[in-house]
A and B are shown apart, each in its own frame.
Chain A
Amino acid sequence: MKMIELAFRNFKSNLKSYFSLIISLAFTIIVFFNFQNMLYSDTFKMLGEKNIGRIHTVVAVVSFVLVCFMFFFIWYSSNVFLNRRKKEIGIYIFMGFPNEKVGRLYMIETVLTGAAALGLGILTGVLTTHLFQMITLALSDIAVDIDFQLALRPVLNTVGVYLVIYLIFTLKGYLNITRSSVLGMLTGAKQNEYVRQNILVLLFKAMLGLGVLGTGFYLAVREGEGGAESQFGIVAAAIFVTAGVYMVFGGAIPFTFQEIARNKRFLYVKRRCLWINNVIFRMKKNYRTYAMVCVLSLCSVTALVAGFAMRERYDNIMKFNSTYTIQVISDRENLDADLKELIKQYTEIDYCSQIPITGLEGSVVKASENVSKYALVAYSDLKNLAADIGKEFPLKEPGEGQVVRVTHMYLLSLMTDREHRKVGIGGRDYEQIEETDISYLGYLQDQVSFYMVNDQEFAGLRTLGQKLHCYSYHIEDARAYQNVKEALYPYMEKIETGGDYIGVVSLDPESNQIYWVKVIFSLCIFVFLVFILAGGSIMFMKLYNDSFEEKERYDIMKKMGVDEETLGKSIADELGAAYGIPFAVMSIASCFSVHTLGMMMNTHLTTIHALSVLTVLAVFLVCYLLSVSVYRKNVGV
């Protein structure tokens, strides 16, 4: 029989056991293909070039994450596959087949499996692409008509990336077989020794892991130089947390379980003895999987929180910017009546305000923010303005040499320390005692960096810059915006020809200039779904494979007279620990990542965080119930 025939026959007869591998590989292909298809679709183009340019970086990051995800998933599943085949491969070698020949047989079988997964993945990908785009856009709340589209480029990109990664691991498997001994192969699928790890080594690992994880958490929440303030701080925190999670699963958790198992009075309570010992036994082999699932679910929660926070922020920014429809800045004090009259020709005014400000050039101010225009306002003026437009005013009056920054809403900022900064105005240093992003001056606050000083300071600093007045109006009918804006031009010309200054700041209420935030939101949801499904399916696959190894043990227990109900409960407990421990570690770790995110966005994310963790819990619960059912079936309980 030719090698290819034997391989094909093997593939056909083992199709049932290859099924989980094919499904999981197809899953990665579906995810990658759908993402690629969205990038090359007309839907994306309809968002407009400006929006696409803005999310370009995010798209690049998500693409990179997806390639990594595919890489690790293929790595993991091909390892599982090789381990399950090792005994059979060992028998071939034992029968006298040269290693190279068996390696080639394995390669052909693997290529057949890979091709089946690729075919299934692309086909299912094509069938689900419409649904996927609909879900993404529905989540983003972007109204675009979607046609069924299929371009060649996404197919080629997906096939290309998949083939390169898959061939790397097929080749790795081939090399592994050619270099293995018969004994290694025959015992490869079994792990029967060294159940308990050396307690001192574990203790050291536990301390080190907790130290590294603690450092990661510290870096994540630290306010100040080198912490979350810089990109370096965040990258370092991510690396430390990931490494720490791996070490915790390799040290602290097995250590805890081994200590529990040493306390026999605690251990000998009902079925505890069974499942705790099983967890210890599995931990040495599975801790990387648990850690991987934990990190994946941590990423997914962070992505979901970031997505929802961005969306909430987007809504708030829109609200912030639309505090006023038209804002006029002039060096004349008495324009209010004229402007009101002009606007009222087209629409009624909801509310309005006016305030004296001192416009400063960038050269006069030394501050950390990178803007070219600064302005000063007086404490009493701003307080009166707040009362006029019904905004809260929680700010205290700055003392001498102190300022309060009146800023706009950030989508995301790496600056987390917003107090006690030094601001140089006219050669004198002022201490920034507070910062507010309440919209007193609307869109103008987004364009100009405002500082509030006390009334005496304001009067003293008036000479440093241009004495201006800001007149702000919110119109009742948003559709009248264009007419009002056009009517303002002749009025402005009239004033400017008289030698006075006037400027108009306005924001079209129907503008879509930050549409891209909505796309980022849907990308975050996408990343969340990919990570959480990946985490859930990796754990499911691992437990599915473990169940075959456990069958023998459950047969022994049945012979001993342990009833099926007890065995079923023990399985539920053990699998509960397998899902529960990564979930618990993730829940704790996510508090820190979400805290950092909250600092970067200057907002509280507790509710969103709780909801995201609950969403992960729901996904895990479904996977857990499926795992318990499949596991019980496989071990015959």
Chain B
Amino acid sequence: MNDKNVVLVRNLIKDYGAKNFKTRALKGIDLAVYPNDFIAIMGPSGSGKTTLLNILSTIDKPTLGEVVLDGRDITKVSNKELSKIRRDKIGFIFQDYNLLDTMTLLDNIALPLALNGVSGKECIQRAETVSALFGLGEHLNKYPYQLSGGQKQRGAACRALITGPEILFADEPTGALDSRAGRDLLECLKNINEKKHTAILMVTHDPFCASYAKDVYILSDGLIKCKLSAGESRKEFYDRIIDVQTSMGGDFS
């Protein structure tokens, strides 16, 4: 494991609501993500999974605590710098794909590079390379409405990865996919994690999806309750996740 962490979280607290009616969604999270990590965050509804992801991915700001990304505390940087970090260091995959329906898949994938001022030629080359890894080579000239859910999500993953981010955040990436499309996507993510060493932090309620990760953190009531690490086989890891889920009292949705 590389000593230099990609994300470091210390005593993260997040409150919602007005002054006298505050709800504490996160009650002090400590977490470190290193290159090569593939982390899944699970937990029951309202446990703070999405809040944690939003803060780590710079979409939301914490009430207290420190989030160090690329060596800088993102709670203290300006909006302009935050945009730059978001653009260069982070990749996102959302549950509902969030591809822009006004442009082709190739344009969608190449967009972050083009906006970064990379030459047209290089944009095309890199988009073709990354899309080949996700099996989308034949679909590059199609519009999102012409693609299946799985293709769209793989396209979104390509867009997230084309800038070579240090970490990829994924919010319920298989939530809108059928089991086969979900499996295809997870295989691709696993592949990227292993070959490109991109750290992945994924929020999911699906134990099968979580079993692709190397570590699973179980969040409950705003705190990390336990951490599960992958063992010999994915099947065995999946069973352990189910056991913990059952012991905590039901479905993580």
Give the CA-CA distance A52 to B242 in the complex, in Å. 92
CB contacts (< 8 Å) of A557 on chain B: these are: 100
Across the interface, do A561 and B86 meet the contact criterion of CB distance under 8 Å? yes
Number of residues of chain B lying within 8 A (CB) of chain A: 34
CB contacts (< 8 Å) of A261 on chain B: these are: 107
Q: Is B59 located at the chain interface by the 8 A CB criterion?
A: yes
Q: What sequence of 0s and 1s flags, for each residue 269-281 of chain A, a beta carbon within 8 Å of any chain B beta carbon?
A: 1111110011011
Give A262 Cβ to nearest chain B Cβ, in Å: 9
Q: What sequence of 0s and 1s flags, for each residue 189-208 of chain B, a beta carbon within 8 Å of any chain A beta carbon?
A: 00000000000000000000
Q: What sequence of 0s and 1s flags, for each residue 149-179 of chain B, a beta carbon within 8 Å of any chain A beta carbon?
A: 0000000000100000000000000000000
List B residues 90-121 near A (Cβ within 8 Å): 90, 92, 94, 98, 100-103, 106-107, 110-115, 117-121
Give A465 Cβ to nearest chain B Cβ, in Å: 78
List A residues 232-276 near B (Cβ within 8 Å): 261, 264-274
Q: Is A100 located at the chain interface by the 8 A CB criterion?
A: no
Across the interface, do A268 and B120 meet the contact criterion of CB distance under 8 Å? yes
CB contacts (< 8 Å) of A495 on chain B: these are: none
Give the CA-CA distance A592 to B204 in the complex, in Å. 65
Across the interface, do B107 and A561 meet the contact criterion of CB distance under 8 Å? no
Across the interface, do A264 and B143 meet the contact criterion of CB distance under 8 Å? no
Classify chain A's interface size.
Answer: 20 to 34
Across the interface, do B111 and A265 meet the contact criterion of CB distance under 8 Å? no
List A residues 189-209 near B (Cβ within 8 Å): 192-193, 195-196
Across the interface, do B83 and A265 meet the contact criterion of CB distance under 8 Å? no
Across the interface, do B123 and A560 meet the contact criterion of CB distance under 8 Å? no
Across the interface, do B120 and A195 meet the contact criterion of CB distance under 8 Å? no
Chain B residue at smallest Cβ distance from A281? B102
Q: Is B27 located at the chain interface by the 8 A CB criterion?
A: no
Across the interface, do A271 and B115 meet the contact criterion of CB distance under 8 Å? yes
Q: Is B87 located at the chain interface by the 8 A CB criterion?
A: yes
Q: Is A553 located at the chain interface by the 8 A CB criterion?
A: yes
Top 7 nearest A-B pairs (CB, nearest first) are A561-B86, A265-B120, A563-B83, A268-B114, A281-B102, A561-B87, A268-B120
- Taking A266-B120, A271-B115 as known contacts, 8 extra A-B pairs with beta carbons closer than 8 A to each other, sorted by chain A number, are A195-B101, A195-B143, A265-B119, A267-B107, A556-B100, A560-B86, A561-B87, A562-B83
A contact residues vs B (CB 8 Å cutoff):
192-193, 195-196, 261, 264-274, 277-278, 280-281, 553, 556-557, 559-566
Interchain Cβ contacts under 8 Å between A and B, 30 examples? A192-B145, A195-B103, A261-B107, A264-B106, A265-B119, A265-B120, A265-B121, A268-B120, A268-B123, A269-B114, A269-B120, A270-B117, A271-B114, A273-B110, A277-B100, A277-B102, A277-B103, A280-B102, A281-B102, A553-B100, A559-B98, A560-B86, A560-B87, A560-B111, A560-B112, A561-B86, A561-B87, A561-B92, A563-B80, A563-B83
